[in-house]
Structure 1
Amino acid sequence: MSTDWIDLNRSFVPHRPADERETAAFQSYFRAREHGPLDWPRLLEHGRVVVLGEAGSGKTCEFQAQTNRLRESGRTAFFLRVEQLADTGVEGALDPSDLHALRAWRSGDQPATLFLDAVEEARLSKHTQFETALRSLAGFLGDAVARCSIVLSSRITGWHADDADIVSRLLGAGPGARPGEPHPDLPEGLAVVELAALNTTQIRQLADQETDDPDAFLDAIEQRDAWDFAGRPYDVLGLLRYWTTHGALGSLTEIIEDDVARKLREDNPNRHHRAPLTPEKARQGAEALAAASVLSRRLTFAATGAVAADGTLDPEAVLAEWKPDEVRALLERPVFDEAAFERVRFHHRHVSEYLAAGWLKRLLDAGAPRQAVAGLLFRPSHGRTEVVPDALAPVAAWLAGKESWVRKRLMAVDPDVLLEHGDPSAIPPEERAILLKRLMEHHRFRPGLTPTAQLHRLADPSLGPAVAEMLRDPELSADQKELLLRLVAIGRLPGASTEAAKLAADRTQPEGVRRLAVEAVAMAGGR
């Protein structure tokens, strides 16, 4: 797997509080059409910029690459780590040749760009180290700071509300914007932006470099509905790693398991040395936090050392036997990202649901009574009727893939949960026909809204005869027929194509049923 930087032409969006992000993204889309994208050339026209991004979003690689690109174009640029600035000053943060070049630039009158990487890493040892680093830099630069553009990077959780004031107070406003129309997403003074998620074109660029068959890789992402796992370079490289190792993306369970295992590892040896966590302990901690989040219906955790606000969980209370540095190390793993100021949350909600199911499975394996777990997942309603709370339905579905008794109980109580959530491919093929029959009997599903990816996961060639038998039932509603026909088409089930053809030719059937029947015959083929 290549580790060379690939120019993905990354774009940026303004940093906004969580509740304003959808509006901000909408505004940025139309601004980009009128003013051009918010990209590196635009950012580097600004005197003071902070680039925020989740772990694994590519901040460090981008900073190093932009430093090299500016130098190759004849401009002066330097890359420094904020942690080293705090610990050793400028003299220790640069190699001798760069230090000599910076001193020479300082004595002249030309502009320069400094990339200061990883604000949050400076705070691993002491909260005030960020301010210490900027004081050291300001002291070294002196008056030359006014002709120096400065770009800082930080994980979003590592950027605090008062940091903008520290930058302005110690480094000033910097040089004014270069000539040209200012971009509306770049305010005067310090601009705080976030790296945007990768788009399909950028994902393909990475795939082109890493596999001989990028089309097959992208098709596999589409078929497995794995786009949520391809928003960052780290994510895509992980999927590519799985793809090149296994020759396929595998089931949703396998993808998530591989994704979680990678993101709970600490690949930075400096961080690991300061707060070592074994993979097993990191997994147990993540599962406990996931369970606390799902069961309490609170999606965010207070950052380590911050006061837990209303509606926010205190991770140190959940992991009461852990040291604070261990909790901090866990929350900085890429399985988490920011939710708002001094709060973190799981990067994907379905990952937290998967991990919460793992926590329940761990309890069961340790001897917890089934009745206790069942009491969490199945609640009485209107006397003897059982229901699965909406918030726990995904957890129940994931656990059902590992525990047959949960699966059987869901089939009896609420079979829709097994189709709408979790990984239907984890259900043994011989039980999927039973599930389909229960879905027909239950008749609470919304077939047009059932995700295509879930039908992909449910489909198995062995289901053809069972689906054909169901399609012959004259009592089936149009909705039921549509669900089964979608399954025939998506799963390419030739064993049911004859019955689909009969429905396609039956003029008494609703238009939607006949249309799906034609599609099913075309996709499934058969005799």
Structure 2
Amino acid sequence: MPPVPLTRHFTPIPDIFQKEDHPLGEFWLGYAHGEKKTWDELFSEYRVIILAEAGAGKTYELKWAARHLAACDKSAFFIRVEDLTDGFEAAFEVGTAEAFAAWLEGTDEAWFFLDSVDEIRLTEARAFELALRSFASRIGQAGQRAHIYVSSRPYAWRPQRDRSFVEEVLPFDSQMTSLNSGATTDDIADTQASVDSYSTIKTDNPLSSLRLYQLTPLGKDDVRVFAEHSGVADSNLFMNELERGDLLSLAQLPFDLRDLISTWKDEQAFSNRLTILQDSVRRQLSQAIPDFPGLALPRMEAAAQLLAICVVLTGISSIGLPGFNSAEAIQPSNLLSDWSSAELTALLTSGIFGEPVYGEVRFRHREIRELLAAHWISNRLGSEANRLQLESWIFRWQYGRTVLSSRLRPLLPWLILFDDPIRDRIIAEYPDVVLEGGDAATLPLIAREETLSRVLAQITDATSSLRGLDNGAIVRIARPDLEQLTLRLIDEHFDSDDAIFFLGRLAWQGKMGQCAERLFTIASDPARDVYARIVSVRAIASLSGVDRFYELWKAILADEPAIPRALFTEIVEHAPPLAESVDLILQTLPRSGKHDRYKGTGLTSNLTGLVQRLPLTEQSDDVELLHVFAEGLLGYLKHEPHFERGECAVSKEYHWLMPIALQCVERLVRARSSQALSTTSLTILSVVPALLLWGDVDLQMPKSKLAELVPKWHALNDALFWWTVAECRCQRERTGQNLRDDWPVTWPGHFWAFDEASFARTLAWVQERPLADDRYVALARAHRTYAENGKLDHWRDELLGLKSEDAEIQATLQVMLNPSPDPAVLRYQAQDKKFQRQHTRRQQTKKKEWDAFVAHMKANPEIIRHPPGLKADQLSHNQANLLDHVREGQGLSKRSEGSNWTALIPEFGNEVAEAYRDAAIAFWRASQPLTRSEGAEPNSIPYAVVFGLAGLDIELENAQAIACLNEAEAESAMRYALWELNGFPRWFKALLQQWPVVTGKVLRQEIEWELSTGLPEQSSYYVLHDLVYHAPDLHDHLAPMVYHWLSEHQVLNQDCLRYSRAIMTAGGIQASDIAILAAKKIDDSTTPSELLPVWYAIRTDADPALALPKLEKVFRRGSAYERAEFGERFSVALLGGRRDAVNAIGKFKTPTYLKQLYLLVHSAVRVANDLDRANKGVYSPTLRDDAQDARERLFGLLSEIPRQIAYQAILDLAKIHPVPRFRAYMRSCAVQLAMEAADPSPWRIEQVALIAADLDLHFTFEHHSGDHHAKH
């Protein structure tokens, strides 16, 4: 089927929701209305993580993006993350290894789409890290020009740990420098040298370069489009049945939607999820059967199940087609030895597998693969011996406790549907697994009741890490037959907000009407948690009648002077489109708190949605309702203080209501209601231009619609015009002015407009308007229409034919038609004409000069090669002008961009272009630029240096050219290289390899200068910065020199110290030597106090055994403020911040040290003092933000160590941590650690084949033995 024409969107996940102990689903409840971005916007970002559930289409989207960019002649590559460990060259599904190599050698940007973290995590706990390190090593120093996108399921992405890891191995420096031209274009003699310079502009993003997004699910409109595009004849009936069967949540994912559509086409009805997926598998497999009579459907299913379990156990996703022998793929003949090649091909090209890539296929969807693998296990559990063995795969013993196999866990939500003993054990010990996938709704009632009870017991247990489940998990179990149990649980856990947050959503999704009354008290209680109240409101709104919903709303108003904005948003979401809703909204608005555009509660969106739902028929009551709402909103819009007294009479506090008010008026306008002509409507429409000028509110969507609608309705258009005139007249009368012209109201933003067809109408006003001043305004308006539309002769005649008893009107008209301009106007017009003439002359002169310049260059190309009267190291203005012409239109992010000499050929011809090329090459040899240590200005760059860089870039195309340089030329080239923007020239690495001594001398001089002159509070972006981010290959060479300098001197600048540390660590300086250096600095009284925490961090990183005893004393010294400041600086220096990743040695990354460090940092960077960024809008991360994150990353590192000592350390921390939610979270991490350690290494394919055969033999033997005993 061809792709469905949908535009998918991505919702940014704010930093506050990316905490290790905050599951995304719990907080996403009120954040679904955040901004949404498209691929076009994401393409400009450099490090992106895209989270999406199984079946959401993330793989398709990443492939589409790669192909789309490739079609636009961009370097774009799609790679599955798990393939990176099998061989980089063969990993490309979009793009090729050759294209990658070509990109690596060039200077262009590239886009890499890596899919998918959750797949690789199933093979081995550390596989993701290994794969990404492999990828990072391949792109090397080209990482600064690589846009990298990684997809994952939400549960597989570990917010803090994975973010820190990605920032460490794929760092991106957001600081960029660009050039502004400073050249003169005056006519200067060939014999004069150019001394012009470019000025530099630095841009820096204070936020992390790594962005996290959620691929938004399909909306109702998307589902409808998808269905129609897929051949559903009656999309209305299809949508209605989806809603009736409560399947819309399933339809939000493209994979599941395809199955729903297939089922609908076949049955014109829906069943449960398990049946839908099973039918899909059978349907896809059956398509291959007609061509192979021996391929019965049961045989096909059994083979697919065996292949599925092999993929799960081995972690190898690819399956080879017959005839394609790949060492990295499963060869199906090893498992299905009795199948012919043709039969295997028929199986592997069926619809349950994706399209072949290089002779390999994969299961089209992981959900299908897990279902098939679960079937394979369940089909072999009938034998006692088999059950013991298979259950030992699932339930592992590790660190003195039973844990689930992390590899097989995704299968269990399906497996429990087929096997009662495993189901009962899972429900009893791991009830949350039931809701992680599968189709829990098909479980027997008693099993679902037990699951619900045990899940709730975990949620309310202070020692449990489970605090809630997302809506997708709850919907899997929510059914009306759980109502009585849910009622009882609500009563039992009435005071627990965590329990109500779960049970309220359960009642809502399960349509449990009797629960609504129990939740009424919670919804109306201001003392309860807002999320518990929100779900209670949702349940009451969905399950109770309108009257009860209004009773709740009124009860909230009666008891609460201030109503949480998120709660109000939920109420409006469910408000019926009735007059009482409008009245209650207007009562609630002043109590709903201050509007913050960055909080994203969705209130504006929900209010706009209500306006769209309000009825609008020919009945007067319906029209009046919209008008009443608009009138009420206008009342708030008039509240003082206003934006600008006398200019913008709109409330600063309530201006955010304007889009809602405009929506009301727009609907009245569309209906051509007389209420659109009311004072209320005209007032709302008339204040918009001033609000756009003085306010800060997004009105673009409703404004653009009204700007089309209003002029088409002449009665409204004209009424609004005269209303605007009257308002303006009132303002002018306050200062003693009259209004007899239309120009004071003729400015951008008004909804009224007058075109050619309006001339007769406006002209008639001159005689019709009762107010004399209005007649003058009408005349001005008619004349303006005449003037703006070509001054047609017959219109002039009509103007002259005006019959008016007012002689002054006639005189005014004559002035308009035959103006005697105001002296001031005349002076202005004269000045304007003079300016225009001067501008025209300048342009003509410039063109003439440029044409003369071009002709001069063409006639005398040798003056470019050898400028007369100038020394070889002086740049002529001719050369500078050509340099600017070559660079014209480029991004100005590289100084060597002047090397594109062939750009001169179209206008100047070959001779001039070649002369420019030769001159640039000769110039760099003759001119040796100063470096910063020699006094060069850091914020500008002479044209001469840019020209020299262009010459170097032209000449040094390959290593052979660099080898031909002499020592002096190599030094000069090195000096030029230090002037390059945003890194080094492409020939830099080869230059250093060919001339290590002379280039090393220049580098050493600049490094030592930067280290010795950097001021404490100054940002440093010179050679050290560029070496760290753009030349990692040089760290081995430079590290000893940096270490020696630091041993003898004090560095004052923190950036310089950070860069030096990165170079020493990556450059192979022994940890013991770095520790000695750090200890020396700590004991040195001349070490700057602000750098002491950094040196302590460096020593701890290199030698924690010796560092920690002294560090513990430091953490106990001083006041609480001093300890907190030291702890913040130390923790960020040890682990890095959001912008500055740390290349650590990592000696402290052992369970014992991490536990000590966590306790130390926690004692200073206390949880009680953490900055709460939730719902606080956009912010720039501070040192404290980074310190909080670093503190928790210490624990994250501990929980990644697959050893029992780490497991025990985590349990110890869980006992002593002062914050209960941290204790519960730590216990869950201990369990997760045990799970990861319990799984054996991935199986070999041969093992799977042997054990599968053995299990089949056991099953067959016991099955036949049972039959034999039964017969006797």
Both structures adopt the same fold (TM-score exceeding 0.5): yes
- One-letter amino acid of the counterpart of residue 424, structure 1: A
Q: Is the partner of 1:480 in helix, strand or coil?
A: helix
The whole-number CA distance in structure 2 between the counterparts of 1:20 and 1:253 is: 23
CA RMSD in angstroms, aligned pairs only: 4.0
Match of 1:300 among 298, 318, 324: 318
How many angstroms does 1:255 deviate by? 0.5
Deviation by residue 1:171-201 (Cα, 9 ceiling, x = unmatched)? xxxxxxxxxxxxxxxxxxxxxxxxxxx9631
Please tell me whether the aligned partners of residues 250 and 256 of structure 2 are also in contact (alpha carbons under 8 angstroms).
no
Structure 2 CA distance for partners of 1:339 and 1:409, relative to 1, 3 Å: farther
Deviation by residue 1:110-152 (Cα, 9 ceiling, x = unmatched)? xxxxxxxxxxxxxxxxxxxxxxxxxxxxxxxxxxxxxxxxxxx
Greater radius of gyration (CA): 2
Deviation by residue 1:226-252 (Cα, 9 ceiling, x = unmatched)? 7344676xx5652223441xx32x111
Match of 2:299 among 256, 281, 288: 281
Q: Is the partner of 1:369 in helix, strand or coil?
A: helix
Match of 2:528 among 509, 512, 515: 509
Q: Is the partner of 2:507 in helix, strand or coil?
A: helix
How many angstroms does 1:475 deviate by? 8.0
Matched, 1:263 2:279: no
Structure 1 range deviating more: 362-371 or 390-399: 362-371
Q: Is the partner of 2:514 in helix, strand or coil?
A: helix
How many angstroms does 1:372 deviate by? 1.6
The whole-number CA distance in structure 2 between the counterparts of 1:317 and 1:352 is: 19
Match of 1:332 among 338, 342, 349: 349
The whole-number CA distance in structure 2 between the counterparts of 1:26 and 1:449 is: 32
The whole-number CA distance in structure 2 between the counterparts of 1:343 and 1:517 is: 51
Match of 1:465 among 464, 474, 484: 484
How many angstroms does 1:370 deviate by? 2.0
- The corresponding residue for 1:90 is none
- The corresponding residue for 1:71 is none
Matched, 1:25 2:43: no
Structure 2 CA distance for partners of 1:328 and 1:226, relative to 1, 3 Å: farther
How many angstroms does 1:426 deviate by? 1.9
Matched, 1:238 2:238: no
The whole-number CA distance in structure 2 between the counterparts of 1:7 and 1:372 is: 44
Structure 2 CA distance for partners of 1:406 and 1:223, relative to 1, 3 Å: same
Structure 2 CA distance for partners of 1:475 and 1:515, relative to 1, 3 Å: closer
- The count of corresponding residues between Structure 1 and Structure 2 is 352
Determine what percentage of the aligned residue pairs are the same residue.
24
- The corresponding residue for 1:89 is none
Match of 2:441 among 401, 419, 425: 425
Structure 2 CA distance for partners of 1:499 and 1:7, relative to 1, 3 Å: closer
Structure 1 range deviating more: 503-512 or 215-224: 215-224
How many angstroms does 1:479 deviate by? 2.9
Match of 1:362 among 379, 391, 407: 379
Q: Is the partner of 1:494 in helix, strand or coil?
A: coil
- One-letter amino acid of the counterpart of residue 216, structure 1: N
Structure 2 CA distance for partners of 1:306 and 1:206, relative to 1, 3 Å: closer
Matched, 1:203 2:222: no
How many angstroms does 1:224 deviate by? 3.6
Structure 2 CA distance for partners of 1:509 and 1:371, relative to 1, 3 Å: same
Q: How does 1:21-420 map to 2 (within 5 A)?
A: 23=62, 25-26=64-65, 200=223, 201-206=225-230, 208-209=232-233, 213-219=237-243, 221-225=247-251, 227-229=253-255, 235=259, 238-244=262-268, 247-248=269-270, 250-266=271-287, 269=290, 272-273=291-292, 276-310=294-328, 312-338=329-355, 340-365=357-382, 369-383=386-400, 385-420=401-436
- The corresponding residue for 1:494 is 513
- The corresponding residue for 2:1209 is none
Please tell me whether the aligned partners of residues 423 and 454 of structure 1 are also in contact (alpha carbons under 8 angstroms).
no
**Structure 1: which 5+ runs fail to align?**
33-37, 43-157, 162-197
- The corresponding residue for 2:628 is none
Structure 1 range deviating more: 299-308 or 286-295: 299-308
Please tell me whether the aligned partners of residues 424 and 454 of structure 1 are also in contact (alpha carbons under 8 angstroms).
no
The whole-number CA distance in structure 2 between the counterparts of 1:437 and 1:516 is: 19
The whole-number CA distance in structure 1 between the counterparts of 2:59 and 2:411 is: 29
Deviation by residue 1:403-440 (Cα, 9 ceiling, x = unmatched)? 11111100122111001121111211122121111112
- One-letter amino acid of the counterpart of residue 239, structure 1: T
Structure 2 CA distance for partners of 1:491 and 1:390, relative to 1, 3 Å: same
How many angstroms does 1:342 deviate by? 2.3
Please tell me whether the aligned partners of residues 287 and 359 of structure 1 are also in contact (alpha carbons under 8 angstroms).
yes
The whole-number CA distance in structure 2 between the counterparts of 1:387 and 1:395 is: 15
The whole-number CA distance in structure 1 between the counterparts of 2:58 and 2:523 is: 47
Q: Is the partner of 1:363 in helix, strand or coil?
A: coil
- The corresponding residue for 1:84 is none
Structure 2 CA distance for partners of 1:382 and 1:442, relative to 1, 3 Å: farther
Q: Is the partner of 1:463 in helix, strand or coil?
A: helix
Structure 2 CA distance for partners of 1:21 and 1:211, relative to 1, 3 Å: closer
Structure 2 CA distance for partners of 1:369 and 1:319, relative to 1, 3 Å: same
How many angstroms does 1:524 deviate by? 2.5
Structure 2 CA distance for partners of 1:19 and 1:8, relative to 1, 3 Å: closer
- One-letter amino acid of the counterpart of residue 392, structure 1: L
Matched, 1:520 2:539: yes
How many angstroms does 1:474 deviate by? 4.7
Please tell me whether the aligned partners of residues 207 and 217 of structure 1 are also in contact (alpha carbons under 8 angstroms).
no
How many angstroms does 1:338 deviate by? 3.6
| TM-score, normalised via structure 1 length | 0.58
How many angstroms does 1:340 deviate by? 4.2
The whole-number CA distance in structure 1 between the counterparts of 2:385 and 2:492 is: 43
- One-letter amino acid of the counterpart of residue 237, structure 2: D
- One-letter amino acid of the counterpart of residue 352, structure 1: R
Please tell me whether the aligned partners of residues 288 and 346 of structure 2 are also in contact (alpha carbons under 8 angstroms).
no
Please tell me whether the aligned partners of residues 210 and 240 of structure 1 are also in contact (alpha carbons under 8 angstroms).
no
The whole-number CA distance in structure 2 between the counterparts of 1:6 and 1:228 is: 14
The whole-number CA distance in structure 2 between the counterparts of 1:8 and 1:421 is: 26
Structure 2 CA distance for partners of 1:202 and 1:22, relative to 1, 3 Å: closer
Matched, 1:481 2:500: yes
Q: How does 1:441-452 map to 2 (within 5 A)?
A: 441-443=457-459, 449-450=469-470, 452=471
How many angstroms does 1:19 deviate by? 11
How many angstroms does 1:25 deviate by? 3.3
- The corresponding residue for 1:45 is none
Deviation by residue 1:313-346 (Cα, 9 ceiling, x = unmatched)? 2222122332222211110110111474322111
Q: Is the partner of 1:386 in helix, strand or coil?
A: strand
- One-letter amino acid of the counterpart of residue 299, structure 1: S
Please tell me whether the aligned partners of residues 387 and 414 of structure 1 are also in contact (alpha carbons under 8 angstroms).
no
- One-letter amino acid of the counterpart of residue 311, structure 2: S
- The corresponding residue for 2:475 is 456
The whole-number CA distance in structure 2 between the counterparts of 1:471 and 1:281 is: 49
The whole-number CA distance in structure 2 between the counterparts of 1:496 and 1:369 is: 45
Please tell me whether the aligned partners of residues 485 and 516 of structure 1 are also in contact (alpha carbons under 8 angstroms).
yes
Structure 2 CA distance for partners of 1:22 and 1:227, relative to 1, 3 Å: closer
| TM-score, normalised via structure 2 length | 0.25
How many angstroms does 1:515 deviate by? 1.1
The whole-number CA distance in structure 1 between the counterparts of 2:331 and 2:494 is: 53
How many angstroms does 1:365 deviate by? 3.6
- The corresponding residue for 1:85 is none
The whole-number CA distance in structure 2 between the counterparts of 1:306 and 1:460 is: 49
